[in-house]
């Protein structure tokens, strides 16, 4: 299956010449992130108008980019899992647990920071492994499995934190290089998490949309039985994706801990639903088989802009969740519309042409 590579022409662009006509509309409508892009641009313009001058300054941008950076690192792997047809609700507890592991090991016990970071990431990977193995072995819906690990891990984190430190928050100083790599504010405004997010986007984007592994994820989410029949190691792929979310959540836990020089047992619970909202706004189909990394990025940005933009409008910030709720529903409806258009689109049927929004 690799030998065909040689005879393919070397260029990476993949225009099929026969379809040059109508291709631009077709390819735009067909992209899972078209709706998400409209959403992101829409909320940005909205808050640029109502948020006043401060919203469009670097300071304003940093406020939502910082939220997006941390959320994005979790939302990307959660989105991949969703494309493969599974959910992960345990990311909140992984953030808290990894955060406490780092703070206890390197702050409370005084071990080298690198050891604490390694153990925190290992914990994330281990939780992902456990989630993945339980989901693929027992066939219990992942909603239940990861809800269970979410609660179990929260309990473990609280229990061990009290047991070992008699406290629910532990201070830590990660030292100079620790802050430099994982917890600095660039220009006193932009969290370094934004750059880690960018790296995650590029690497995962490649794996999903350019390498062949991505095809497996879409196939598994599209039809698990057919994917298995086609020879894809479906269980191993799912376990790998769960390890991905565990690692993503652990990385965010580590970065928050280093940035704020402390860890709390109740940290990070908001990531559970925020990541799902970002992914769904980003055009990923909740039942699997459809979505894109770029869409998840846009969904994350949309979420973060609304989440932070409200503070610039001078309105009561209590309404932010209302806006997010409405936005979520609107985004899903719009994404459904675009998906239908993508399905019905064909060069000979120009009725799909009427782009909406």
Partner 1 sequence: MATTQAAPSTATPLLRLTDISMSFGSTQVLTDVSLEVNRGEVLCLLGDNGAGKSTLIKIMSGVYQPKSGTIEVDGKPVVFRSPRDTAAHGIATVHQFGGTFPLMTIGRSFFVGAEPEKGFWPLRRFDRRYANETAVREMRQLGITRVTDGDRLVGGLSGGERQALAIGRAVYFGASILILDEPTAALGVKEAAHVLRIVMGARAKGIAVVFITHQVTHALTVGDHFAVLIRGAKAADFRKGEKTREEITDLMAGGEAMAELEAELEAYENAHEGHVPQIG
- Select from 65-73, 125-133, 207-215, 295-303 the region that touches partner 1 (CB under 8 A): 207-215
Bridge partner residues of 92 (DSSP): none
How buried is 18 (Cβ within 10 angstroms: 0-12 exposed, 13-18 middle, 19+ buried)?
A: exposed
Give dist(CA 13, CA 7) in Å, integer: 15
- Select from 38-46, 129-137, 301-309, 342-350 the region that touches partner 1 (CB under 8 A): 342-350
Give dist(CA 23, CA 333) in Å, integer: 25
- Select from 149-157, 164-172, 194-202, 346-354 the region that touches partner 1 (CB under 8 A): 346-354
Three-point CA angle 93, 95, 100, nearest 5°:
95
26 binds partner 1 (CB under 8 A): yes
Phi and psi for 169 in degrees, rounded to 5?
-140, 140
Q: Which two tokens stand for residue 293?
A: 């990394």
Shortest Å, Cβ 29 to partner 1:
10
Three-point CA angle 171, 177, 183, nearest 5°:
55
DSSP-derived letter for residue 222 is H
Give dist(CA 275, CA 257) in Å, integer: 19
DSSP-derived letter for residue 351 is G
Shortest Å, Cβ 229 to partner 1:
4
9 binds partner 1 (CB under 8 A): yes
Binding mask 238-277 toward partner 1 (x if CB under 8 A, else -) reads: ----------------------------------------
Shortest Å, Cβ 182 to partner 1:
25
14 binds partner 1 (CB under 8 A): yes
Of the candidate residues 111, 160, 222, 315, the single one contacting partner 1 (CB under 8 A): 222
Residue ranges binding partner 1 (CB under 8 A): 1-2, 4-5, 7-10, 12, 14, 16, 18-19, 23, 26-27, 30, 210-212, 214-216, 218-219, 222-223, 225-232, 285, 289-290, 339, 342-348
């Amino acid at each position: 299956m690799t030998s065909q590579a040689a005879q393919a022409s070397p260029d990476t662009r993949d225009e099929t010449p026969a379809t040059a006509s109508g291709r631009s509309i077709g390819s735009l409508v067909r992209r899972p992130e078209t709706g998400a892009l409209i959403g992101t641009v829409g909320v940005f313009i909205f808050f640029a108008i109502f948020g006043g001058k401060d919203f469009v300054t670097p300071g304003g941008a940093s406020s939502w980019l910082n939220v997006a950076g941390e959320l994005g690192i979790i939302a990307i792997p959660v989105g991949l899992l969703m494309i493969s047809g599974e959910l992960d609700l345990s990311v909140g507890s992984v953030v808290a647990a990894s955060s406490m592991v780092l703070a206890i090991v390197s702050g409370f016990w005084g071990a080298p920071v690198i050891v604490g970071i390694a153990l925190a990431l290992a914990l994330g990977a281990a939780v992902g492994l456990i989630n993945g193995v339980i989901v693929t072995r027992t066939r219990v819906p992942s909603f239940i499995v990861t809800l269970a690990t979410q609660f179990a891990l929260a309990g473990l984190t609280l229990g061990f934190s009290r047991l070992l430190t008699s406290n629910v928050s532990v201070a830590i100083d990660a030292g100079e290089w620790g802050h430099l790599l994982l917890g600095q504010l660039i220009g006193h405004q932009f969290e370094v998490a934004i750059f880690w997010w960018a790296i995650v986007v590029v690497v995962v984007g490649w794996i999903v949309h350019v390498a062949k592994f991505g095809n497996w994820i879409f196939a598994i989410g599209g039809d698990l039985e057919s994917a298995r029949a086609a020879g894809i190691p479906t269980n191993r792929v799912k376990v790998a994706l769960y390890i991905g979310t565990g690692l993503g959540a652990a990385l965010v836990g580590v970065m928050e801990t280093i940035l704020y020089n402390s860890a709390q047992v109740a940290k990070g619970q908001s990531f559970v639903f925020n990541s799902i909202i970002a992914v769904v706004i980003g055009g990923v189909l909740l039942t699997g088989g459809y979505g894109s990394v770029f869409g998840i990025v846009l969904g994350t940005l949309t979420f973060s802009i609304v989440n932070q933009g409200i503070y610039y409008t001078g309105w009561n910030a209590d309404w932010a969740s209302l806006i997010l709720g409405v936005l979520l529903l609107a985004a899903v409806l719009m994404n459904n519309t675009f998906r239908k258009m993508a399905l019905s689109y064909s060069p000979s049927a120009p009725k799909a042409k009427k782009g909406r929004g």
